[in-house]
Amino acid sequence: MFGDFSASNPPLFKQLAELQNQLDESNAEKLQLESQLNALKAQQLSLLRELKEQQLVTAEITQLRQQVDILAKNKKKLEISLDVITEHADLFEMQLVDAQNSLEQKVTERTQELEEKNNQLQAEIQERSRIETELLHAKESADVARISAEMANQAKSIFLAKMSHELRTPLNAILGYGELLQEDLTDMGLAEFSNELHQIQRAGEHLLSLVSDILDVSKIETETLALSLTEFTVNDMVNNVVSLIRPTLKGNILEVRCFNKVGTMRADATRVQQILQNLLSNAIKFTKQGRICFAVKLRADYVYFRVKDTGIGIPAEKLSSIFEAFNQVDNSYTRQYDGSGIGLTLCKQLCQAMNGEVYVKSILGQGSAFTVQLPRYPEND
Ligand SMILES: Nc1ncnc2c1ncn2[C@@H]1O[C@H](COP(=O)(O)OP(=O)(O)O)[C@@H](O)[C@H]1O
Ligand SMILES: [Mg+2]
C-alpha cells in the first residue's frame, strides 16, 4: 500500500514509517507496561493478601494478649490462694506436730500403764500359782488326813465294839446281882437299903443302854450290824413301845394315834422299837408339862412314825448337826439335860440301814417333830 504512496511522497512516507516505528515501539512499550501493570496488580493482590493475613495475625495477637492478661490475673489469684494455702498448711503442720507430740506422750503414758498392769498381772499370776501349789499341798495333806482319819475312825469303831462288848458282860452281871440283892434285902426286911440299891440299878441300866448304843453305832460303822427282818403287826409294836414309855412321861401328856388298818410291816422289830423309844425319850426329856403326840401313818409303800412334842425346840442352824455323833444343841459341860448325844445318830443310821430315813422339823420354843420313814416291805431283804 505504501509503495505507491512512498513513491509519490517520500518525506511523508518517511514520517509515516517513523510514526509506524514509533507506534510499534509504543505498542511494544504498551505491552511491556501492561505486563508491568499485571505484575504490579499481582503484587498488589499478594500485598493485599499479606495485609489481610497481617490483620488476622494482629487480631490473634490481641486475643493472645487478652488471654495472657487473663492468665496473669489467674496466676495472681492462684498465687494468693497459694499463700493462703501455705499459711493453712503451716498452721496445720503446727497442729499436726502438736497432735503428734501429745499422741507420743499418750503412747508413752499408755505404755507405762500397760507395763505396770503387766507387772501386776505377772505378780497376780505368781501369787495364784503359789496359792494353787499351796492348795495342792493342802489337798494332798487333807487327803492324807482324811485317809488317816478314816483309818482312825475304823480303829475307834473296832476298839469301841470290843470295849463295849467287854463292858456289857460285867455290867450285866452287876445288874443281875443287884436285882438279886434287892430281892434278898426285901426278903430280909431291909427295905431302907432298897432305895440306894434302886439308884445303883438305874445308873447301871443307863450305863448299859449307853454302852449298847455305842456298840450299835460302831457295828454300823464297821458294817457288822446284822438286821433280823421279820413281819410284825405295827400296832402291837407301837403298844409295846408306849407301855415302856408311859411310866417315864414326867408330867407330859402322851397321845397315841395308831389304827389297826396300818396292819403289818417287814423290818427289824427290835431296831424299830429302839428308834421309836429313842425319839420318844428325847421328846419327854426336852418337854416340860407339855404334849407328846405319837402317830403312825401308812402312805404308798411306806410306814411313817411321827413323834411330835411341844418342848424347847431346836434352833434352825442346829437341825442338821443333831444327827452327828455326840452332837447336842448345848454341848457345854453344864448343860441342863443329860445324855450322850448318840441317840439320834443311831436312829438315823438304823433307819438308813433299813432303807429308810428320819426327818426333823422344829421351831425354837414351840416344839419339834421327828418323822421316821420306813419301807413297809423292803425290796431286797
Ligand atoms: N425332841 C427334842 N426337842 C429338843 N431338842 C432335841 C429333841 N431331840 C433331840 N434334841 C437335840 O438333839 C440333841 C441330840 O439328841 P440325841 O442324839 O438323842 O442325844 P442326847 O439325847 O443324848 O442328848 C439333843 O442333845 C438335843 O439338843
Ligand atoms: Mg437322846
pLDDT, tens digit, 9 for 90 and up, residues 266-321: 999 999 999 999 999 999 999 999 999 999 999 989 999 999 999 999 999 999 89
Tell me which of 143, 159, 175 is where a domain ends: 159
The predicted pLDDT at position 3 comes to 47
Count of domains forming the chain:
2
Domain membership flag for residue 307: yes
Write out the three cell numbers for 250.
414326867
Residue 1 has pLDDT above 80, yes or no: no
Of 249, 294, 328, 340, best ligand 1 pocket probe by most atoms within 8 Å of the beta carbon: 328
Query: Are residue 233 and residue 364 in the same domain, yes or no?
Result: yes
C-alpha distances in Å from residue 23, one per residue of 10, 155, 272? 19, 179, 185
User: Which DSSP state fits 299?
Assistant: E
Domain membership flag for residue 212: no
Domain membership flag for residue 206: no
d(CA 19, CA 47): 39
Query: Are residue 356 and residue 267 in the same domain, yes or no?
Result: yes
Domain membership flag for residue 39: yes
d(CA 89, CA 305): 98
For residues 285 and 307, the answer to whether their CB atoms sit within 8 Å is no
Domain membership flag for residue 200: no
pLDDT in tens, 3-15: 455 566 677 777 7
Note down the domain range covering 237: 226-375
Query: Are residue 143 and residue 230 in the same domain, yes or no?
Result: no
Of 209, 213, 217, 286, best ligand 1 pocket probe by most atoms within 8 Å of the beta carbon: 286
Q: Is any atom of ligand 1 closer than 6 Å to the C-beta of 312?
A: yes
Residue 183 has pLDDT above 90, yes or no: no
Domain membership flag for residue 164: no
The CATH number covering residue 306 comes to 3.30.565.10
For residues 280 and 241, the answer to whether their CB atoms sit within 8 Å is yes
Query: Are residue 152 and residue 250 in the same domain, yes or no?
Result: no
Query: Are residue 244 and residue 136 in the same domain, yes or no?
Result: no
Query: Are residue 243 and residue 363 in the same domain, yes or no?
Result: yes
Take atom 8 of ligand 1 and give the residue whose Cα is closest.
282
Tell me which of 110, 137, 159 is where a domain ends: 159
Burial letters 318-350, b for 16+ CB under 10 A, else e: eeeebeebeebbeeeeeeeeebeebbbbbbbbb
Domain membership flag for residue 193: no
Query: Are residue 155 and residue 230 in the same domain, yes or no?
Result: no
- State the alpha helices, DSSP H only, in the chain: 2-8, 10-187, 191-221, 234-245, 269-285, 343-353
Domain membership flag for residue 57: yes
Take atom 7 of ligand 1 and give the residue whose Cα is closest.
282
Query: Are residue 98 and residue 242 in the same domain, yes or no?
Result: no
Take atom 18 of ligand 1 and give the residue whose Cα is closest.
343
